[in-house]
A and B are shown apart, each in its own frame.
Chain A
Amino acid sequence: MKNIALEVESLSKQYRLGQVGTGTLSHDLNRWWHKIRGKEDPYLKIGESNDRTKKGDSDYVWALKDVNFKIEQGDAVGIIGRNGAGKSTLLKLLSKVTKPTTGNIKVKGRIASLLEVGTGFHPEMTGRENIFLNGAILGMTRREIKRKFDEIVDFAGVERYIDTPVKRYSSGMYVRLAFAVAAHLESEILIVDEVLAVGDAEFQKKCLGKMGDVSKGEGRTVLFVSHNMASVKELCNSGILLQNGQLAFQGTALEAVSLYQKGANTNNHYEVSSIEEAVGNDNIKILHFSAEPLNGDFLTISSGIKVTLKFYNNKPNINLDATFELRTTEEVPVFHTGALISTNKDSRQGMYDVSFEIPPNLLNAGSYYFKLIFGEDQRYALYHKDGLIGFEIENEILGSNSNVLPGVIRPDLKFNII
């Protein structure tokens, strides 16, 4: 049996919603009064599961509730889940930034966390000075930093600027330097939170490579939080799926990712009968939004898609536009294109119907969802809504290959063969 590097036991974290202000003192006194009588904390009970879309009864909410898992040494674990599933809370608890409400975490070895790179960087200090300060904040001794100094500078690729104050750095250089310091921490467990979203493509590749080295080559344990399913699949061998603050699944990375994607909204039809029920705000109310097959009954690669949108506009005499952004559930944008609904400041207060077609043989099989943005003058967002509808395009077997082919699009190309 392999070694357990990290064990999480019935871990929970409760947060108070709303403003901490009036009422805090009375709650504190009440809590203290229960405590001296040897009773349980009265506010620990009333929290409910963390579903931010529903209105709760109490001011307390469980960001994490009763989470249990073990991580073996040398594993690269992807932690995935939607926004608000509790990923960041889990990382904060692991990196000791905040303490759990109940339960515990047992750790073997040092934990280094890259929740946000460049913490404690001082703009007036030079790159060299900041490497030392940042390294020390992250838990390195001066001797350790000195030993790794050349490696860090080399990795960041900022040698020429090393004695220049970091306020003169380009933002890319700043981030590269910050990541380089963090990546050279000597720790048994490394926690990474989507830092890869920064830097140019070349540097992102370098970071991913470095993380791969860390887990595969050096046998360290890596916890990786990301919305980028592609890099989770590539980097991690196991995965943890969180849902509303609870552990939904632990297993291989591939299983976790596919479970996560199944959980995405595949409801391709949204419709309400009246404006009162419609989603929206004071400017826009959406009454109907759907993606239906052009031909046949199912969305397949060759079916094509008819997208229909019906909404109520409450702002007369403006330049109104509606933008559709299609994304895969792995968060790869497919297109982002808008319909100019009125261009002469002559929008009407009332219903609009917008529809368009995505031609057959364009999108590959996979899961997709729409982001909708309504704008004024193509500049100001009046309303936006993510994931109101999503859909799954089924694979079609062409020829003898039954596997889903790679790629976001799968065009039907006319090959000329001579």
Chain B
Amino acid sequence: MIELDKKYTEENEWTEVIEPQSSLLSLNLKEVWRYRDLLLLLVKRDFVTYFKQTVLGPIWFFVNPIFTTVMYTFVFGNLAGLSTDGAPQVAFYLSGIVLWNYFSNSLNQTAGVFTTNANIFGKVYFPRLIMPLAVVTSNLMQFGVQFLLFIGVVIFYTLSGDLMPNAWVLMTPFLIILMAGFALGLGMIFSSMTTKYKDMTMLLSFGIQLFMYATPIIYPVSAMNERLRDIILLNPLTAIVECFRYGYLGVGNFNGDMLIYSTIVIAILLIIGTLVFNKVQKGFMDTI
């Protein structure tokens, strides 16, 4: 500390200036990096406290996808008779559900980040960006467990000869990053708007539900006619889901261009989201 003081004396420089208006681009990523320990500890907090005082503990992570898959298989597979591109129905629906759960949970929680943390944000300063980052990281835990369940199902069908996974499975980490980026970017834009106009929470809660039907979760892209297919391909999640299925289930029509398109859209969204979030975070305490 003495050394630090000396440095300040010599240079007579301010380490920080707090000002009303800051430019849109004054993003302090270095500061976020300095707080990386906080990110880890927040994730650890979620991990430690999630199952406190529950009997079944992490088994709850399995309950949701298993029952949803059974339901989807019955309703969409048997009653509605939707195509699964020839893949076993259980594996097909489970793959969609696992991905969708991660995306929708992350989006929902990121969008509510200002409202749920208003108490902490009102008392202490730390780079607010840490919070949405912690959300998408914490959700990886649930995703990881459900993903294991999915892998189990894939192995089962592979051994019985119904499935042939291919090298595209190696893309999985990249797909998860893309999905996290999409949820983060969209969530930050929504969270910035909810601080002032709570209407956005209403919009988001049913918007996410509808968005699932605009994503090939319960049906494959191939089941669409030409016109609808062009629309569905605009959704950046489409390429992610299709690539995931193509790798593990070997079905669906998928090519690298779609993935490049998704990557570009998500990157742009992420940049916009970060900038908007950064702009809003400085003054949101007065409006929330």
Contacts and interface: CB of A to CB of B under 8 A. Distances in A.
Contacts of A113: 124-125
A106 B16 CA distance: 6
Interface string B104-145: 000000000000000111111110000000000000000000
B45 A129 contact: yes
Main secondary structure of the interface of A (DSSP, over half): loop
B4 interface: yes
Contacts, number: 119
A115 B45 contact: no
A111 B125 CA distance: 10
Nearest to A7: B14
B35 interface: yes
A100 B120 CA distance: 19
B19 A104 contact: yes
Contact of A97 (B16, B20, B123): B123
A360 to B, nearest CB: 49
B207 interface: no
Given A3-B8, A124-B48, A139-B126, A107 B41 contact: no
B18 interface: yes
Contacts of B167: none
Interface stretch (A130-138, A229-237, A326-334): A130-138
A142 B14 contact: no
B20 A137 contact: no
B124 A102 contact: no
Interface residues of A, number: 51
B42 A133 contact: yes
Contacts of A97: 121-125, 285
Give the interface centre of B5, B40, B49 by most chain A CB atoms within 10 Å.
B5
Nearest to B288: A20
Given A15-B286, A100-B20, A132-B41, A139 B49 contact: no
B229 interface: no
Contact of A125 (B34, B48, B287): B48
Interface in A14-65: 15-16, 20, 24-25, 28
Interface residues of B, number: 41
A107 B8 contact: no
A132 B120 CA distance: 16
Contacts of A3: 5, 8-9
Contact of A104 (B8, B20, B42, B119): B20
Contacts of A98: 282-283, 285-286
Interface in A184-236: 186, 188, 218-219
A136 B20 contact: no
B4 A188 contact: yes
B49 A124 contact: yes
Given A115-B123, A188-B4, A136 B48 contact: no
A96 interface: yes
Nearest to B285: A98
B14 A119 contact: no
Nearest to B39: A136
Interface string A126-153: 0001001100111111100000000000
Give the interface centre of B13, B38, B120, B126 by most chain A CB atoms within 10 Å.
B38
B124 A136 contact: no
B37 interface: yes
A101 interface: yes
Interface in B247-288: 282-283, 285-287
B55 interface: no
A264 interface: no
Contacts of B1: 186, 188, 218
A98 B20 CA distance: 9
A102 B20 CA distance: 6
A273 to B, nearest CB: 43
B121 A99 contact: no
Q: Which 9 pairs show the lowest CB-CB distances between chains A and B?
A: A96-B125, A136-B38, A105-B18, A106-B14, A119-B123, A142-B37, A98-B285, A124-B49, A107-B16
Interface of A: 3, 7, 15-16, 20, 24-25, 28, 73, 92-111, 113, 115-116, 119-120, 122, 124-125, 129, 132-133, 136-142, 186, 188, 218-219
Given A20-B287, A95-B125, A119-B124, 18 more contacts: A3-B5, A7-B14, A24-B196, A28-B196, A96-B125, A98-B285, A99-B282, A100-B19, A104-B19, A104-B20, A106-B17, A108-B14, A111-B16, A124-B49, A136-B42, A142-B37, A188-B4, A188-B5
15 contacts: A3-B5, A73-B5, A97-B125, A100-B18, A100-B19, A104-B18, A105-B18, A107-B14, A107-B16, A107-B17, A115-B123, A125-B49, A133-B42, A136-B42, A139-B35
